[in-house]
Amino acid sequence: MLIEDDAHVRGALRLALADEGWLVDEAGDGERGLALLERPGDYDVILLDLRLPGMDGFEVCRRIRRTSDVPVVIVTALQDSHDVVAGLEAGADDYISKPLSAKVLLARLRALLRRAAARDGSSTRPIVHDGLQIDPDAAVVLRDGRPVSLTRTELRLLVELARAAGGVLSREQLLERVWGYDYFGDSRLVDVHIRRLRAKVEVEPASPRHVITVRGMGYRFGS
Amino acid sequence: MIGGPRHLRLPGLRARVTLAFGLVAGAIAVVVAVSVWFLVTGLVTDRRERVTLAQATDNAERVDSALSAVALTPDDLVRSLGNATGSISLVWYERAWHSGDPTVGGEDLPTAVRNGMLRGDVVQRQARLDGTLRLVVGVPLPSVDGAYAEIFPLDDMERTFRTLSTTLVAVGVVAPGLGLLLGMWASRRALRPLREVTAAAGAVAAGDLSVRLAMTDDPDLAPIAASFNRTTAALQHRVQSDLRFASNVSHELRTPVTTLLNTVQHLRHRRAQLDVSGREALDLLADEVERFERLVDDLLEISRTEGGDGHLVLVDTNAAELTRRCLPEEVQHLIEVDPAASALVVRVDRRRLERTLANLVQNAERHGGRLVRVAVRAEPGPLVRIAVEDDGPGVPAALRTQVFERFARGDGQRETTEGVGLGLALAAQHIRLHRGRIWVEDRQGGGARFVVELPARSAP
């Protein structure tokens, strides 16, 4: 689904994506996008412009997250702006900056889908650590026996950290394994997702026990 | 240089203030010294003359009465006179000189004194006898038809005056020196605010428009500081609104560019269905859209960086690896890496450096004929130098700074349909943010060599 207020951009992206075999539903504003989401059927990804008439992109993103774990890629005008961090905090999985061409967009979408496939394909035993149970195959995470609702990207990040079995993963390694960036990723993606992940899996996010920061190196799982 | 009459260069303000202080102090010292000299010597001499005159007159009276009484011979009389002041008495009596000191006779008296006293006048004169200054007083003795003279020593007074003059000359010499020192100190203090203004103006000239002078209560300085601050604030506002305008324009352009890019891509998929002229038109359109996209991108980035959003995302990176990664497949074989450079890391914003190198490579391919080499080398410092070389016409020495300015082009003969020069300006800006250097020089064997130099350190 493509939520974007400019009809020309929507039309052009739909045409270019259709050439690559994608089916695109268009929404001119956030309300229409949320309405589309309520209809039966599943979207692979939602492309969300942050500047929208009426309800802004951040709010749309937060509302999507209430009901769905579908990957959300935000479209921003500025790569360095605070919009990126704010959009990620609102629950987006990745961002792409304008002007976006279908070529670049498709590379990002393929990376998103590839990791979804990898998750489905590989079989991993459930991981248990200090009250936290992770079952990668079933995509279920339990904290003290209660299920925790994670987005696909958050789950992927947690599983990658847990699989490293206490080893430190650098931001670059995480960008590569979770987001599929080969080199020029933005480490803010990792930091914001770690923050979101802690808010969900840690009892006290301020003093984390599962997702630990290793200064100057990256992150690791466990004590 | 423009010819014309050469004017004598005025010394600097500080030198002038210092000199003025010196001159004034010197003048005051001279006036004071001269006044003191005349006042003191006048008073002392006058007093000495009155005392000696009184003593001589007194002695003369005693001589007069003694001679009248003829109680003593003139010689005994002369010897009997007190000489507590060290004076020597002489008496002219019965056509002969009678002296209290055998070494001094009447002929030693100054002529003016001798003639005056014999004529019947009281005479007082300074004279030099045997090389020492004396005061000679002559008093006539009309009742006995004689005269009395007394010679007083003045060497003590002369010594005093010499000491005084030495002291005054010393004051006259030292005072201007002190004046110069005082002038130097005072002018330095007085001009300190001017130095601050100079430093601030220099910073503005170097591009830092956020400098402000500290406000002061000094009524002489406050207007300067205020108007300087107003001027820089206005300038900063102007520059920022220009940048904002550029940023807004390029921002607004991003949406239509997105449409153009994707529409062109859609058309390209259908290229086979077009006839020859249709394909040619599509290719032109595609090229132009791509260039437009780059321009909008560069413009946005340049205005954003200059507008203060020069936020660097710094990561330790191997320069050689970064170079390999950010250049396209078809130029990989042109990259040469010095092994020493592989052992160094640079701390850079990868996206910006990638952009810089990509711009240099595009520039080489578009203006420089052909890219011939990308060399990554280590230099002492340690520094890493990445040189992008082409075999084109090179950049004339006169244009080597200019090419890094916005919308600058190479010489006029270059292809004008390609490359509006934002790429190099952006590269220069990015490298500046990294505290590195960028320049262009001649390549050995012809062509241009663009060099990026970045501070580095040994890999851990």
Q: Could you give the ipTM of this predicted complex?
A: 0.77
At residue B76 the predicted structure's pLDDT band, cuts being 50, 70 and 90, is: confident
Interface test with A, best of B252, B262, B349 (most A CBs within 10 A): B262
Question: B300 to chain A: which residues are within 8 Å by CB?
Answer: 78
Q: Chain A contact for B350, CB < 8 A?
A: yes
The alpha-carbon gap from B341 to the nearest alpha carbon of chain A, in Å, equals 20
Collect all residues with Cβ–Cβ distance below 8 Å to A78 and sequence separation of at least 6: A84, A97, B251, B300, B304
Closest chain B residue to the Cα of A187, Cα to Cα? B313
Q: Residue A20 sits in which domain range? A: 2-116
Residue from A4, A19, A22 whose CB has the most chain B CBs within 10 Å, to mutate: A19
**What's the rounded Cα separation, in Å, for the pair B244 and B168?**
72
Across the beta sheet with A46-49, what order do the strands follow?
A26-27, A2-3, A46-49, A72-76, A94-97
Q: What's the number of domains chain B is made of? A: 3
CB A18 within 8 A of CB A24: yes
Is B458 within 8 Å of B438 (Cβ atoms)? no
Long-range contacts of B288-293 (CB under 8 A, 24+ apart): B289/B257, B289/B260, B289/B261, B289/B264, B291/B418, B292/B257, B292/B260, B293/A99, B293/B257, B293/B260, B293/B261
Do B262 and A102 make contact, defined as CB atoms within 8 angstroms? yes
Interchain contact, A12 vs B297, CB within 8 Å = no
pLDDT interval class at B4 (50, 70, 90) = very low
Q: Please check whether residues A96 and A160 belong to one and the same domain.
A: no
How far A155 CA sits from the closest chain B CA (Å)? Answer: 26
CB proximity list for B51: less than 8 A, separation 6 or greater:
none
Q: Does A21 touch chain B (CB under 8 A)?
A: no
pLDDT at A115: 60
Last residue of a domain, one of A90, A116, A142: A116
CATH code: domain of residue A71: 3.40.50.2300
- Structural domain range at position B428: 314-458
What average pLDDT does range B315-335 have in this prediction?
Answer: 83
Question: Which chain B positions have a beta carbon within 8 Å of A81's beta carbon?
Answer: 309
B7 touches chain A (CB under 8 A): no
Q: What is the pLDDT of residues A14-72, one digit of tens each?
A: 999 998 888 899 998 889 999 988 887 788 889 999 888 888 889 999 999 888 888 89
- CA A76 to chain centroid, in Å, comes to 15
Q: What is the average pLDDT value for chain B, to the nearest integer? A: 83
**Residue-level pLDDT at A79:** 59
Pairs of CB atoms within 8 A across A/B: 74
Residue where a domain terminates, one of A67, A89, A116: A116
**Domain limit, last residue, from B161, B183, B204:** B161
d(CA B24, CA B18): 10
Q: What is the pLDDT of residues A117-165, one digit of tens each?
A: 555 445 567 777 777 888 777 777 888 878 888 888 888 888 888 887 7
Residues B357 and B387 grouped into a single domain: yes
The reply to whether B283 and B323 lie within a common domain is no
State the pLDDT at residue A184. Answer: 66
Query: Cα torsion at B98, B56, B110, B134 (round to 10°)?
Result: 110
Closest by Cβ to A99, choosing from B254, B269, B313: B254
Give the model's pLDDT for residue B414: 45
Q: Over the stretch B9-18, which tens digit does the pLDDT of each residue have? A: 667 788 888 8
Q: Residue B124: pLDDT above 70?
A: yes
Question: In Å, what is the CA distance from A204 to each residue of A129, A210, B386?
Answer: 15, 10, 48
At A91 the three-state DSSP class reads: coil
pLDDT for res B308: 59
Chosen from A2, A10, A15 to mutate, greatest number of chain B CBs within 10 A: A15
- How many domains are contained in chain A? 2
